[in-house]
Chains A and B, each alone.
Chain A
Amino acid sequence: MLRPVPNHLTLLAMLTIPAVAVRAQQPVFEKLEIRVTAAPTAGIVTIDRGERDRVAAGDKVVLLPRNGDILHGTVTKVGSRSATVELVDRSAQLRRGVRGEVLVPRQRRRPGANAPVPVPEGPKATKPKQPATGAEAGQPTTNPTRRRPRQGRTPREDGWRPGMPLLAGSRPLEPRERASRTTGRIYTAGDLRRTLDSFDQSFARLGTDFEVENPVGYGGTLRVHAEFTYLTETTGNTDPDLRVFELAYEIGGTRYDPMRWQFGRLLPRDMPEFGLLDGVEWGYRFADGHRIGASFGALPELDEDLDTGADMQLAAWYLWPDTIAERLTFGVGYQKTWHHLRADRDLVVGKVRYLPSDGWDIAATTWVDFYYGSDTKRDGPELTRARAHATRRWDGGSGLEFTYDHEEYPDQRRTEFLQTIQPATLLDAHQDRFGAHAFTTSSSGTRWFARGTAWTDQDRTGATAEAGLLADDLLVNDMRSGLAGFLVHGAHSTLLGGRIDHGGQAFDGRLDALLEIAFVHHEGFPDNADDLIQYRLAGHWSRNVGERWNLLCYGDATLWDTELSLGLGFYLQRTF
């Protein structure tokens, strides 16, 4: 007669058998994430894992470069913290930082399978503060066989106990839970310009531009950009001004909060085409990346005074992305403005941006005004402004750029332009400009470039062309020098000239200098005044002066006919 099996043995068997079964189903290999730290030759790379991670010769490696390829290889040599991998594709040339995985037998990764893993030495920690506030994790207590936590971090400090996973169960801090952080810069600048016929002007600026994250505990961001400017005009008049370019508080718009509010003096984030705003902006981002928004407030005049209050606006927009990665985006927005409470402008902005993965960057933006009962413009829509560009850059230093611009003057009550716009100008003035720029860099580092522009307006047509090169040690040793020639047919002048420039390390900083000589022909003038030679010498020098301080000094001189003009200036900035 068989003895009855004790209950506790039955229970043990019930628990053990599934555990063994589960263990048998576990994969034989464990995947360790790796990075390529060096790629000395094609087909061979060094990875950041070695003996301390139980990697051994013969282990299989899979590498995943950013272009989407999947490359296989085998570990051939192992160091303490690195290993050499031979790729199956011996022609593959990888960059440092490429991610991948190495397959290590799980048997080898078990504790005690090999020598103990050395612990990297770090700087000595300082004595910890008193324990932090309540630790929520109620995990097992100390295990006498485990090592005590090292000096500098006591178990009560954060609730962690030996045996607990290091990062399991964690979540990122939300913006409102973070410590307040301020980043930005302060700067000062001065500029003085003078010609021999007493034409002079100058300015001095002192400003700051900074951003405070979570300034008041709600998780928002405060942005401030203001400066004091002392301006001397050509007439001798001085104009001291405190200019506030941005003073805005933004809350939301993070991965925790799809709704975003921003108020103050702000630049609309999704539709900056509507201009600087004193008011409030609201936006909402849907899970699939679509965004809607609206704003209301006053439009400061975009001049040196930034006066506000005369123009009010109401705007709304919608942005459509193809995916959450926003490789293709369409946007449309409508803005209605009032000037001293009188209806002014009906503006529709449409824009598109396309970023195919092969390196092209294509974007276009249009501003369309709608007129009803205008004195100078026909009723209906008019394309007031358009800007489009298509750019392609290659890794080797080559590229192509195409741009197109169209502009007309909008018929509006708002005071936006410094110039006096005559009715005839408002009626038919326009400009269309197409530009192309190509550049390439040879294996020796010499950069060749060519640039051309063609334009037409209501009165004239014109074009420009420029070509040149930039090479190391071309004219001056240890400097990068350039030669360029240009031909410009402008609205009032035609120029034929050349330019020499140098750039490199000098006087403990970086020095760039250029000399430009141009033969200038002024259109429509008598022979004794229409041709002259113009010389321009310019340079700027910059260096870091102490930690986070940067100084830029510049000067230029232009000599033409019998006159000379000079410009001098500096820019000093500290980031924090």
Chain B
Amino acid sequence: MASTQRKIRWTSTALVCGWLLAIVACSVSSPQGRELHRWWAGFGMVVKHDSFPADCKLCHLGESWNDIVETFEFDHEKSTGVALNGAHGQAKCLRCHNDRGPVAVFANKGCAGCHEDVHYGELGKDCASCHDENAFHVPNARVRHLHGRFPLTGAHMQVACHRCHSGAFVRNFRPTDPNCESCHFNDAAGVNNPPHINLGWVDRCDRCHIPTSWRPAVVR
């Protein structure tokens, strides 16, 4: 078993190393130099400029079209009617206005129009029911846990998410079986006084233990 895990880890390490090697190789064999955004020469912009003021220097530095003046300000809500709230106010223009197509098409899809579904579709498309626009962190996740089969009480309130939701580190919060033995089977197997496994105590832990704490057990 251990050798299998070691083999799997070597495989993943080799995969990562191979990737890094491929990236370096691609960098060396780049087909052309990277061209900066130039003014004429047949090039244009991703963001339409036809309604912008004629004085380019209001926004751009003279030496490079990619550099914006430090004093640049653009009131997105005032100019477009769409407010940029929270972290969206800090985003660079090209994060939304880019090659995928008209930004309105993607904005109409809500968060999923731009953000990957990192929950693998398991939690639906309504991101705003948990997240706000300031950060991905969900500060009151434990409060939301009330509305399910397993309201968190006692020690369970302080357990890290990944202890029950094994995929939490990769944002997979698939529901977990609330029966005690689902998580505590190994705990029961390791107890010798009394020997739970030998006595056949492999389920219905709540006959003796309360969910708030593993100790003390109650003899009924």
Contact = CB atoms under 8 A, between A and B. Distances in A.
B195 interface: no
Nearest to A117: B54
B181 A490 contact: no
9 contacts: A96-B78, A97-B82, A173-B43, A173-B46, A255-B101, A307-B12, A422-B203, A488-B146, A558-B157
A140 interface: no
Contacts of B213: 195, 197, 561, 563
A210 interface: no
B41 A137 contact: yes
Q: Is the interface of B mostly helix, strand, loop or mixed?
A: loop
A550 B126 CA distance: 25
Contacts of B164: 418
A126 interface: yes
Q: Which 8 A-B pairs have the closest CB atoms?
A: A97-B81, A170-B44, A125-B62, A418-B166, A419-B182, A158-B39, A254-B99, A122-B57
A22 to B, nearest CB: 24
Given A97-B78, A419-B183, A558-B158, A464 B42 contact: no
Nearest to A302: B167
Contact of B155 (A134, A160, A195, A573): A195
A326 B109 contact: yes
Nearest to B186: A420
A435 B155 contact: no
Interface string A352-363: 010100000101
A286 interface: no
Interface residues of A, number: 174
Interface stretch (A3-11, A54-62, A71-79, A244-252): A244-252
Contacts of A431: 149, 175
Contacts of A540: 139
Interface stretch (A108-116, A213-221, A470-478): A213-221
B80 A120 contact: no
Contacts of B203: 422
Given A303-B162, A422-B181, 19 more contacts: A128-B63, A133-B41, A137-B41, A178-B35, A179-B66, A218-B26, A222-B23, A272-B121, A308-B12, A365-B121, A393-B128, A407-B174, A425-B182, A490-B151, A491-B179, A528-B218, A534-B157, A566-B158, A567-B158
Interface in A146-182: 152-153, 157-160, 166-167, 169-173, 175-181
A42 to B, nearest CB: 17
Contacts of B129: 391, 401, 437
Given A136-B41, A179-B66, A308-B11, A256 B99 contact: yes
B34 A419 contact: no
Contacts of A563: 154-155, 212-213
A273 B178 CA distance: 24
A132 B42 CA distance: 13
A421 to B, nearest CB: 7
Contacts of A451: 147
Nearest to A181: B94
Nearest to B185: A420
B77 interface: yes
Contact of B62 (A152, A417, A437, A528): A152
A197 B212 CA distance: 12
B154 A462 contact: no
A387 B176 contact: no
Contacts of B182: 419-421, 425
A525 B210 contact: yes
Contacts, number: 383
B116 interface: yes
A363 B127 CA distance: 12
A288 B58 CA distance: 39
Interface residues of B, number: 124
Given A96-B81, A267-B116, A177 B35 contact: yes
A495 B149 contact: no
B58 A153 contact: no
Contacts of B27: 215-216
A346 B17 CA distance: 32
Given A120-B58, A309-B11, A429-B177, A216 B23 contact: yes
A405 B32 contact: no
Interface string A193-204: 111010101010
Contact of B12 (A309, A520, A548, A561): A309
B212 A532 contact: yes
Contacts of B53: 120
A174 B164 CA distance: 47
Nearest to A214: B34
Nearest to A425: B177
A155 to B, nearest CB: 10
B178 A529 contact: no
Contact of A306 (B12, B42, B55, B160): B12
Interface of B: 5, 7-9, 11-12, 15-16, 19, 23, 26-27, 30-46, 49-51, 53-58, 61-63, 66, 69, 71, 77-82, 87, 90, 92, 94-95, 99-101, 105, 108-110, 116-126, 128-129, 135, 137, 139-140, 142-143, 146-151, 153-155, 157-160, 162-167, 169-170, 172, 174-179, 181-183, 185-186, 203, 206-207, 210-213, 215, 218, 220
A304 B169 contact: yes
B9 to A, nearest CB: 7
B58 A122 contact: yes
A550 to B, nearest CB: 7
Nearest to A199: B155
Contact of B15 (A254, A278, A567): A278
Interface in A256-286: 256, 264-265, 267, 269, 272-276, 278
A522 interface: yes
Contacts of B123: 387
A423 to B, nearest CB: 12
A545 interface: no
A325 interface: yes
A23 B43 CA distance: 31
A119 B99 CA distance: 33
A447 interface: no
A265 B22 CA distance: 13
A358 to B, nearest CB: 12
Interface string A402-429: 0101010100000001111110010001
Contacts of A325: 105, 108
B146 A175 contact: no
B4 to A, nearest CB: 8
A90 interface: no
Interface string A17-47: 0000000000000000101110000000000
Contacts of A170: 40, 42-45
B181 A420 contact: yes
A160 B39 contact: yes
Interface in A315-372: 324-327, 349, 351, 353, 355, 361, 363, 365
